[in-house]
Amino acid sequence: MIEFTKESYLICIIAGLIIYIGLLMLIVIIALILRGLKAGKFLKSRRFLFGAVFGIIIFPCLTILIWQTYLRCSLYSIVNNLKKCDRIEITLQPSLFFCLGISRSDYNDLFSFVDDKFLKTLPVLIVKDKNFMESFANKIKMAKYTAFDPGSWPCGCPGVPYIEIYKNERIIGEFEIIHGHTLYLGEFASLQLGEFDSSDSFTDWILQTLPETRPIAMRVSCAKNLKWLSECLHSYTAYHDGKYPDPNLWCDLIREPGQNADGSFTKVPSENFYCAAAGKGNCHYAINPFCSPDSPNDVVLLFETNAGWNQHGGSKLMAFDHHEPNGCNVLLNDGKIKFITPDKAADLKWKSK
């Protein structure tokens, strides 16, 4: 059962007063309209006209004000509870794998048997780090306020972190994160976090920050970059005689806006060149100059390397120290992504036979 704090009571009182004032104004509107009708003059009655205008213009504005106040009060309550709590418990529903927002077909080769077991059996995450909770609260402060669309949840939402906030062993707040960037507060409202988009969600930030989930979350984030770069490379071939960009300029060429097969234009965001696990740098990926669109599916196309720009080459450039355990994300010509440990690097194919 959720404990009601002093701030919660204050929020309830303020919201109650606003609703009470709104109801009084609604009664006044109805009374003015009825008096106008009773006078029998209808549109000629100033009372009727005033009541109608008041109802059509002012009452909807008042309704919006009440709604926004409710959302702001809810946001204040969550932020305040996070800053003063003893701990938070995060339940990844139904599992860590689904909360990572990836498909098994695209990312199956990223995980070993041990990783796979961890993805399916991760227990509740208990967080007592005050710095994390302070950052958590500050991130939520950046929220954009939106009405809840009942059709958007839970349909199409594979992974849902469920957050419980504790103070003195009592729950003082709870919410869920849906679609990676929206705080679900219940059946009546949600708060969309404006700092994040679908490619870098609030759920991603949580998983990449907590030590229990950081290694796998960073590996997946890096793999998503490779997936995006792969799509841009194949879009490039559609308008350049079926060829990949010049290895000496490949970053520059796909960084420029390019036309896709459907006529739209794509420009690779700078963050897709950057692997967060690798530290500072402009680009942490290199292209295999011996790979072409006609090469076999299992030939290496892109792979992780140390920071640089327009890097190209072979296995000597591979970086294995960005992730835990040591390994390197590799994109094959067919779009598959593999996590290669140092002992498996010799099995990679770099040229067509």
Domain ranges of the chain: 6-82, 85-209, 216-347
Residue 151 in this model has a pLDDT that exceeds 50: no
Considering the chain, what percentage of its residues have pLDDT values greater than 90? 37
Q: Given pLDDT bands bounded at 50, 70 and 90, which one contains residue 179?
A: confident
Among the listed residues 25, 39, 154, the one whose alpha carbon sits nearest the alpha carbon of residue 93: 154
**pLDDT tens-digit series, residues 107-127:** 778 888 778 778 877 778 999
CB atoms within 10 A of CB 21: 13
pLDDT bin (cut points 50, 70, 90) of residue 183 is confident
**Residue 222 in contact with residue 275, Cβ under 8 Å?**
yes
Assign 3-class secondary structure to 23-64.
Answer: HHHHHHHHHHHHHHHHCCCHHHCHHHHHHHHHHHHHHHHHHH
Q: How far apart are CA 285 and CA 301, in angstroms?
A: 10
Per-residue pLDDT tens over the stretch 24-64: 766 776 776 666 666 555 555 565 566 566 666 666 776 76
Taking only the tens place, the pLDDT of each residue in 235-280 is 889 888 899 999 999 998 888 655 444 545 555 667 889 998 998 8
pLDDT at 342: 95
Q: What is the mean pLDDT of residues 72-93?
A: 87
Q: Is residue 304 within 8 Å of residue 322, measured between CB atoms?
A: yes
Give mean pLDDT, residues 311-317. Answer: 96
